[in-house]
Amino acid sequence: MRLLLDTSALLVLCRAETGFETLRETVSDLNHEIFIASISLAELGRRVRELDADESVVNTLIGYCKSMATLVVIDGAIAELSLRLAKHATARIPLADSLIAACAVSMQATLIHRDKHFENIQSSVLPQLTLPLASRL
């Protein structure tokens, strides 16, 4: 199975939040291909900095993410797909989220997240697995 981890899923892994154990097992399963959108690295770094992590922690987390998954680089085709997804969504989707969704669609991957914005894209277009809301373990 092909899986693309949204930034929110990466935060679950990095902060050991609700759903961490199941997500860690899923990511470790060799039957799964794991992907991350390149924009998620920037989102993750910014969010971790907001939580007062120093630069070495940010760099370690980004390195971990790059080592566990294939990075999907956002190019013109993904940008155009993002635009089409946003146009057909039931409500407004932030740009970063529409780009991440487009990466998942382009890789024919199920998007793993805990972000309500993705609910605005039909699951027939974007297969999704929604993680439980956050709480620290």
Q: Dihedral angle at the C-alpha atoms of 68, 103, 78, 96, nearest 10 degrees?
A: -100
Are residues 89 and 82 in contact, defined by beta-carbon separation less than 8 angstroms?
no
DSSP bridge partners of 113:
130
The domains found in the chain, sorted by start residue, are 2-130 (3.40.50.1010)
pTM: 0.93
> What are the residue ranges in the chain where pLDDT is below 70?
134-137
Residue 52: the pLDDT is: 86
pLDDT at 135: 55
CA-wise closest residue to 58 among 68, 45, 69: 45
SS3 4: strand
